[in-house]
Amino acid sequence: MKYQLRNTMLDILIRIEKDHGFSNLLLNHELKQRQFNEKDERLLTEVVYGSLQHQMTLDYYLSKFIKSKKKLDVWVQPLLRMSFYQMIYLEKVPDHAVIHESVEIAKQRGHQGIASFVNGVLRSLQRQGVPSLTDIKDPIERIAIETSHPEWLVKRWAEMYGMETTAKMCRNNLEHHPLSIRIQPLRTCREEVMQELKESGIESRPSIFSNQGIIIEKGNIFRTNLLKEGKITIQDQSSMLVGEMLAVESGMHVLDSCSAPGGKVTHVAEKMQDQGIIHAFDLHAKKIKLIDEKASTLHLTSIHAQKGDARKLASKYEKESFDRIVVDAPCSGLGVINGKPEIKYEKSKEDIQRLAKIQQDILNEVIPLLKENGLLIYSTCTVDKEENNQVVRQVIENHQDIYIDFSFRDELPKELQDAPGWSGEGLQLFPQDFHTDGFFLTRLKKIR
């Protein structure tokens, strides 16, 4: 098909909007199938993510150029969004190329009338430029449109954290975050991997979150053999804190109640020198395969992955069976909007309330399985207090033998000890703090 690159962009955006597909999975699939050159791969990724991240802003601009209320075909709005994104945000892509290919795609998918409509809208943008957002007087609405976050979400965060933190968080969700990786310490060391990265032309620096962590500043890690050789795995720095804060030792019995896709549990196995037993569960059978594959790639044998509902694990084990427990709970994912921008348009208040109930149920179920003096890490990749602080407070009230073990703060690097997201329930990392995922964690300890 002619204009394959932009047709692929459009197909992905349609599937995300209409079929609720995941942007990262769809992009990875297309990149493997199409085998574009490196330059086109970058443009495809940039336009898909950019059009999603700025979707509400683009729709606001589009509304100034489309006066008719005539219903458009399902592909026209995404085509105009991605065209606007390229013309407004990308300096190296010439407007004439965007307009020409968009009009040709409109002819392919529709007819001459739609092509003329697309041509008219894009040429109007080229002539007139975009309207100012300062005309939006309401501050919540302005942040929502400027940063493409739903108004209810901006209002909710402003009530939880204040306008300044909310505005920073929303703006940061539009920025590029560097990829981070974790070395497998039983097969290599950080210095060796960083040297190999350097020789491959990849710029990197050590992470302060974990002595296994490396931040990729520039270059494509997927073009090296490090992943295939099991020397590294991809993991956000914030997630590495779970393995670091669990304080495991070789030979322990560990439970990971919600384990897929396996990033945290493999880190725990590495910290245990792969000696001991780790029972890893996930609700979905197909995700067990992901845990097994990751463990196999990293040459780890102490992980036993099984299908199981974390809310029913008490029936499988005796009380006080485990030295350590990880509850990386299912959550709204509002902390990973940067990498999965479609999340912000799909989640609702009702989702958050439903998930908070599940989170409490999981904790109430697994806490009896923790040994005396045992440690439990509770974590989520969200920034919502109802899923984090309120859940922890409720669980502490329900279990007199559990308390928040704040000594974990002293074990963190100085920068994290001074992070602004500390509360009486644990540490909330905002995405703007360290350019990581928005992530919450706390450590609970069992007493008699």
Two tokens, residue 169: 């968080």
The 8-class DSSP code of residue 132 comes to: P
User: At what angle are helices 263-271 and 285-297 packed, to 10 degrees?
Assistant: 40
Is residue 381 annotated as a catalytic residue, yes or no? yes
Sheet (strand 232-234) strand order: 203-206, 213-218, 179-183, 232-234
Measuring CA to CA, which residue among 284, 319, 282 is closest to residue 304? 282
Name the amino acid, one letter, at 180: S
* Contact (Cβ atoms closer than 8 angstroms) between residue 340 and residue 323: no
Distance CA 372, CA 446 (A): 5
DSSP type of residue 315: G
Which H or E element spans position 377?
strand 370-380
Instruction: Considering only the C-alpha atoms of the chain, give the largest distance between any 2 of them, rounded to a whole number of Å.
Output: 76
> Collapsing DSSP states into helix, strand and coil, what is residue 321?
coil
Only one residue has tokens 């606001």, namely 60
Spatial CB neighbours of 345, under 8 Å, sequence gap ≥ 6: 55, 150
Query: Which DSSP letter does residue 71 get?
Result: P
Single-letter amino acid code for the residue at 46: E
* CA dist 92 → 7, 43, 80, 175 (Å): 19, 10, 19, 18
CA–CA distance, 431 with 328 (Å, rounded to integer): 18
Residues 257, 282: Cα–Cα separation, whole Å: 7
Instruction: Please give the helix or strand (H or E) that residue 215 lies within, else none.
Output: strand 213-218
SS3 372: strand
- 223: exposed, middle or buried (Cβ count in 10 Å: 0-12, 13-18, 19+): exposed
The residue annotated as part of the active site, out of 170, 258, 331, 381, is 381
Residues with a catalytic annotation lie at 381
